[in-house]
Amino acid sequence: MIAAVEPSWYLVVAALLFSIGAFGLLVRRNPLVMFMCIELMLNAANLTFVALATSLGDINGQTAVFFVMVVAAAEVVVGLGILVSILRRRPGATADDLAELKG
């Protein structure tokens, strides 16, 4: 018999995913990759919600996941729109090139 999957394993996977996302966000300069890293972190949070909702028997956690997915979708629409327009104007620009608002 395969050992039952402990809830803590899910949490560990989620923490790993979140760390990868955060690390990627901080070290990569390609705006698209940074965007993907943000998605990774969001989904890590989603995984945490789902895992805890199941183990605690509380449906509210799963509800929150839907909210996060909706917000993420909206964010992707806006964010990708901005990204496309920036890259169309300045092909190959990195996030560090977009520093016009520095003090």
Partner 1 sequence: MVELVWLIPAFPLLGFLTILIGGRRMGEPLAGLFATAMVGASFVVAVLTYLDLLGMDEEQRSHTETLFSWVPVGDLQIDMAFLVDPLSITMCLFVTGIGALIHLYSIGYMHGDPKFSKFFLYLNLFVLSMTLLVLGSNLLVTFLGWEGVGTCSYFLISFWHTKDANATAGKKAFVTNRIGDFGVMLAMFLAFGAVGSIDYAVINDSALAGTLTQATATGIAALLFVGAVGKSAQLPLYVWLPDAMAGPTPVSALIHAATMVTAGVYLMVRVNPVLGAAADWVPMLIAWIGAITALFAATIALAQNDIKKVLAYSTVSQLGYMFLAVGTGAYVAAIFHMITHAFFKALLFLGSGSVIHGMHDEQDMRKMGKLFKFMPVTASTFIVGWLAIAGVPPFAGFWSKDEILLYAGAESWVLYGIGIVTAILTAFYMTRQVIMTFFGEQKWGSLANEAEAAHLNDPADTDAATEGAEAEALEDAGTGPQSVGAAANADIDQHETHGAHGEFKPHESPPFMLIPLVVLAGLSAVGGLIQLPSIGIIPKNAQHKLLDWLHPIVEFGEGAEERGIGEAIITDTTAYDLKVVLIFVAIACAIAGIVAGWAVYQRRLVKPFEPELLERGWRYDEAISWFMGKPGRAGFQGVADGDAKVVDGAVNGVATIVRETAGQVRKGQTGYVRQYAGVIGIGVVFLLGWFVVIRGIL
Where do contacts with partner 1 occur on this chain (CB under 8 A)? 22, 25-27, 29, 34, 95-96, 98-103
Distances (CA, A) of 78 to 23, 51, 74, 83: 23, 29, 6, 9
Q: In angstroms, what is the minimal distance from the CB of 1 to partner 1?
A: 34
Tokens of 26: 């901080």
Q: Give me the sign of the Cα torsion angle 22, 25, 26, 28.
A: positive
Q: In angstroms, what is the minimal distance from the CB of 99 to partner 1?
A: 3
Which residue, 29 or 70, is less far from partner 1 as judged by CB? Answer: 29
Q: In angstroms, what is the minimal distance from the CB of 79 to partner 1?
A: 12
